[in-house]
Structure 1
Amino acid sequence: MRLGLRLFFAFFLINGLAAFFVLRVFMVEIKPSVRKVTEDTLVETAYALAALASPDLASGQLQPGKNSQFRQQLTGYTQRPIQAWIWDTRKTTLDMRITVTDAQGMVLFDSDGKDECADYSRWRDVYLTLRGEYGARTTRAVKDDESSSVMHVSAPIMVDGRIAGVLTASKPSRSVQKIVDGAERKILRGGLLFVLLSAGVGCAVTLWFVAHVRRLRRYAQQVQAPTLNEALHPDQASPALAVPQMPGELGELALAMDTMRKRLEGRDYIEGYVRALTHELKSPVAAIRGAGELLQEDLPAQDREMFARQVVDQSLRLQNLIDQLLQLSRLEQRQQLDKSHSCSLMDCTQQAIQALNGHASQRGITLQLQGVDSTGPWEAGLIVLAISNLLQNALDFSPDGSCITATLAPHRITISDQGPGVPETMLARLGERFLTTPRPNGERSGTGLGLSIVTRIMHLHGGYMSVRNLHPGLAVSLDFAPEK
């Protein structure tokens, strides 16, 4: 199960359990609480009516068949019409029953007129009240029907400081059940709304957290140390990664990952360079060592001259390799260009041609410049270096007496030669460090860093290098980003 689903289900489970227990407490407490309030009201009502019944009981006017003032006022009062709104509950009937018993528990008055002359002395409420205690009971009219229960609360009728009778106020549970049912419905609706809101909040929190975690994951997946296989185009290379901006501990984790990335980049960068450089140094070092060992022996002058020339050639190769490595290293450490001056591609190309014109003339190779000039916020020294490397690479592969053409276009320069070109399978790899291809004479020369330097210069300028075969020949184009 994915992290987001786990977090959402955990959040929903916790909130669901909390809502369940809270709702359960409320639901369990509603009915007892309503009954407590009802009983409290009945207690006050019973004591108030007991005080009103005391004079008639003392004078004997409450006996059955006699028309006392108390009887006149309460007999049939429940039949009176009533329209009352208690909050959101409508009340249309009066359902409180009033009974009065004498000191022996015999019913003297019943507001419903049902149980007069009945013996209530054994009912708990009457029995306890006659003994001077608090008397109350709840009795079901139908044994198996909870809704038929009736609450009875009794109060003593005092005459001359003694208990002369008991007044009981009774109220059926169904009269307050509507209030209980309405409260339960409200609580259930509120609980459902709470669960839905909790689910929404949980979903939002989960999405927020998972989104940040995914940003960290993408950042971690994209973190790569510099490799020896740089892409030719910027959109093929790994873009510079920005540290994700996140709050709290997630932000601290992102910074820690960025610190780790920088350390890994430095370590892997050095390891890659060391491996590649070691591989490139093996051949010239072995050649120099072999030639040096042979020079220690007594050799003919011709052989001695050949081995001495080999030592010089391999030393020059090593020197060239070191120089280009330092040059590439400096380029890779640079993060921005000097854009204080505008640069002309025509001027840069002319400088590069002038520097290599002598070497080209020795082999009868013509260096041509054509096209229209364009300028931009480029660094002239780096542009001259890139064009010089392309021209030098073209000279190495061009046959004697051929022509190398530098064609200028808006924000573009193309160097094309008339050499053998490059196998199609290797076109995509041109620009990798230390990648060399066989020269027309079958020799393996060069350092394999020239096009890497060009690629890095184009990356710094926001442009790219593209290569294509001409059959015969090879065309290398440098495309610069136009000034914004």
Structure 2
Amino acid sequence: MVAFAAYQLQASTTRDRFIAAARTSFRSDAIQAKFVAQYVPGGDSAAELVQGYMSRERGITWCLFERVPGLPANRVGDPSPVEVPEWLVDTAVDSSSPVMWEPENQPFVVFAGTTTPYVVLVEFYNMQPLEDELIALRRSLSMIAIVVATLGVGAALVAAKRLQRPVQAVADAARQLGRGALDIRVPVRGRDELAELASSFNSMAAQVGQSIAELRAKDQQQRRFVADAAHDLRTPVAAMVAAADGLDHPELGHRSAQLMGVQARRLGTLIEDLLEMSRFDAGVAEFRPDHLDLADVWRDAIELTGGEVELRTRGDLALTGDPRRLHTIARNLLANAFKHGAPPVTVTIDGTDADTVTIRVADSGPGVPEELLPLVFDRFVRGDRARSATDGSGLGLAIALENARAHGGHITVANSGGAVFTVTIPRAPHGSATDV
């Protein structure tokens, strides 16, 4: 298209210049011929005088016409290369300026004009050399266009190949990701859009891998949770069945009734803990915040536990939280300290920080075994694995951690002369929703 436009522009400009030059040359010849016809002395007619002048001009093809009113035009001079129509002569006689005519299928441009009122000069300008030059120009531009187009197509193919390679790599990686290769990544080269695409794919693959890993861990956790729950439910149910069978014996009836009551209470506690964990898993655990003093919550939990506990407080202990859930945290941590630790138990509540309140629960026992430190907040993890059955469900610390998270806080554990559990609770809960 560029070559075609360049040719059209060049051809039009060249033709216009040629015609302008021809018109100027014709006007100059007409003026000179008119001067000769009017002012050169002699007995010849005007046509003969103009013919004599034009015969001395070189490189110009011309002819003359005498146009007397009422008579046909009389041709004077050599034969012309193009048959001149009579209308052109008549028009030239009636016009005050030169008349141009381009014959069809002839490489000439013709100018006609009067030298004297009845003598018409006609000149023929051959445009064949110009047409030959334009043909050569057209061929040259066509060759240039073909070469440029070929190079452009080749460059486009190379560029497309370079663009296709990283896109194909992303497509292959996406297929492998779909087949389960969660560690697949695409090399990032450069800083262009393709590099941004590769980086975005890697981020997506990392997020997908993390989400699937979390789902798998969640699935394994749920499977383990169901298996552990079934195992822990089996023990009190079996004990209750055995106790129920013993009710038929008079000497065992009282003992069987006591055993059934103990196991029923244990079963009820286990079921309540399981329901609480299921609410956390489903995200529907109720959260009812209220303004409270954390020291009052822990004093009540210490009184209910009935163990040897030293309570230390400092700073402002007022915060906004769910009293029931904070009480559950305190009760479960104290119960864990007495079951798996040893008295005395020290509870230190630090309210000196403007944004959080920290509770430190330390017992005087042997501490948490090192292999259990990463697992102590997992479900159904007991401090003494050697015992096949304990009074606890193995859910107390897991429930305490979930309740702390419900407040936007967390719990950590360490060994320092015994097990030390540290609870951090923000003074205001995160968000305003009533459910977590």
TM range (shorter): 0.5 to 0.7
In structure 1, the partner of 2:99 is none
Q: Is residue 375 from structure 1 mapped to residue 300 from structure 2 by the alignment?
A: no
TM-score computed with the length of structure 2 as normaliser: 0.58
Which residue of 348, 353, 375 maps to 1:407? Answer: 348
Q: In the TM superposition, what is the alpha-carbon distance from 1:289 to its structure 2 partner?
A: 3.7
Q: In the TM superposition, what is the alpha-carbon distance from 1:461 to its structure 2 partner?
A: 2.2
Amino acid at match of 1:60: Q
Show the 5 A alignment for 1:324-339: 324-331=273-280, 333=283, 338-339=288-289
Aligned residues: 325
In structure 1, the partner of 2:61 is 101
Q: Can you list the C-alpha shifts for 1:5-57, whole angstroms capped at 9, x where unaligned? A: xxxxxxxxxxxxxxxxxxxx213431343123321442354356445535639
Partners of 2:247 and 2:329 in 1: CA distance:
46
Max radius of gyration: which structure?
A: 2
Residue 408 of structure 2 aligns to a residue whose secondary structure is coil
Partners of 1:304 and 1:409 in 2: CA distance:
52
In structure 2, the partner of 1:60 is 51
Show the 5 A alignment for 1:74-113: 99-102=59-62
In structure 1, the partner of 2:5 is 29
In structure 2, the partner of 1:447 is 393
Going from structure 1 to structure 2, the CA distance change for 1:443 and 1:164 (only over 3 Å counts) comes to closer
In structure 2, the partner of 1:436 is 382
Show the 5 A alignment for 1:137-156: 154-156=109-111
Show the 5 A alignment for 1:167-178: 167-168=125-126
Residue 384 of structure 2 aligns to a residue whose secondary structure is coil
Q: Can you list the C-alpha shifts for 1:367-405, whole angstroms capped at 9, x where unaligned? A: 211242432533133222101110011121245xx3111
Partners of 1:420 and 1:297 in 2: CA distance:
40
Q: Is residue 323 from structure 1 mapped to residue 299 from structure 2 by the alignment?
A: no
Going from structure 1 to structure 2, the CA distance change for 1:38 and 1:53 (only over 3 Å counts) comes to same
Aligned residues of 1:353 and 1:388 also touching (Cα < 8 A): yes
Q: Can you list the C-alpha shifts for 1:255-301, whole angstroms capped at 9, x where unaligned? A: xxxxxxxxxxxxx77x9547523432234425634763686489976
Going from structure 1 to structure 2, the CA distance change for 1:386 and 1:40 (only over 3 Å counts) comes to same
TM-score computed with the length of structure 1 as normaliser: 0.53
Higher relative contact order (CA 8 A, sep 6+): 1
In structure 1, the partner of 2:172 is none
Which residue of 414, 424, 432 maps to 1:479? Answer: 424
Aligned residues of 1:431 and 1:455 also touching (Cα < 8 A): yes
Amino acid at match of 2:319: P
Residue 428 of structure 1 aligns to a residue whose secondary structure is helix
Q: Can you list the C-alpha shifts for 1:181-239, whole angstroms capped at 9, x where unaligned? A: 9xx9xxx9xx9xxx9xxxxxxx876677677666655554444697797xxxxxxxxxx
Show the 5 A alignment for 1:236-315: 273=222, 276-285=225-234, 288-289=237-238, 292=241, 296=245, 310-315=259-264
Going from structure 1 to structure 2, the CA distance change for 1:429 and 1:297 (only over 3 Å counts) comes to closer
Q: Is residue 392 from structure 1 mapped to residue 335 from structure 2 by the alignment?
A: yes
In structure 1, the partner of 2:124 is 166
In structure 1, the partner of 2:181 is none
Aligned residues of 1:345 and 1:374 also touching (Cα < 8 A): no
Residue 323 of structure 1 aligns to a residue whose secondary structure is helix
Partners of 1:459 and 1:166 in 2: CA distance:
104
In structure 1, the partner of 2:407 is 461
In structure 2, the partner of 1:39 is 15
Q: In the TM superposition, what is the alpha-carbon distance from 1:433 to its structure 2 partner?
A: 1.8
Residue 60 of structure 1 aligns to a residue whose secondary structure is helix
Amino acid at match of 2:309: L
Aligned residues of 1:398 and 1:418 also touching (Cα < 8 A): yes
Partners of 1:221 and 1:336 in 2: CA distance:
32
Going from structure 1 to structure 2, the CA distance change for 1:300 and 1:470 (only over 3 Å counts) comes to farther
Amino acid at match of 1:101: T
Q: In the TM superposition, what is the alpha-carbon distance from 1:476 to its structure 2 partner?
A: 0.8
Amino acid at match of 1:479: T
Q: Can you list the C-alpha shifts for 1:101-157, whole angstroms capped at 9, x where unaligned? A: 1359xxxxxxxxxxxxxxxx9xxxx956879735776xxxxxxxxxxxxxxx63254
Aligned residues of 2:341 and 2:419 also touching (Cα < 8 A): no
Aligned residues of 2:243 and 2:257 also touching (Cα < 8 A): no
In structure 1, the partner of 2:363 is 417
Partners of 2:327 and 2:239 in 1: CA distance:
38
Show the 5 A alignment for 1:167-206: 167-168=125-126
Amino acid at match of 1:102: W
Residue 372 of structure 1 aligns to a residue whose secondary structure is strand
Aligned-residue Cα RMSD (Å) equals 4.8
Aligned residues of 2:228 and 2:380 also touching (Cα < 8 A): no
Residue 365 of structure 2 aligns to a residue whose secondary structure is coil
Amino acid at match of 1:381: R
Aligned residues of 1:46 and 1:155 also touching (Cα < 8 A): no
Partners of 1:483 and 1:204 in 2: CA distance:
46
Partners of 1:372 and 1:465 in 2: CA distance:
20
Gap regions ≥5 residues in structure 1: 1-24, 72-98, 105-120, 138-152, 196-202, 230-267, 361-365
Residue 444 of structure 1 aligns to a residue whose secondary structure is coil
Residue 402 of structure 2 aligns to a residue whose secondary structure is helix
Residue 5 of structure 2 aligns to a residue whose secondary structure is helix
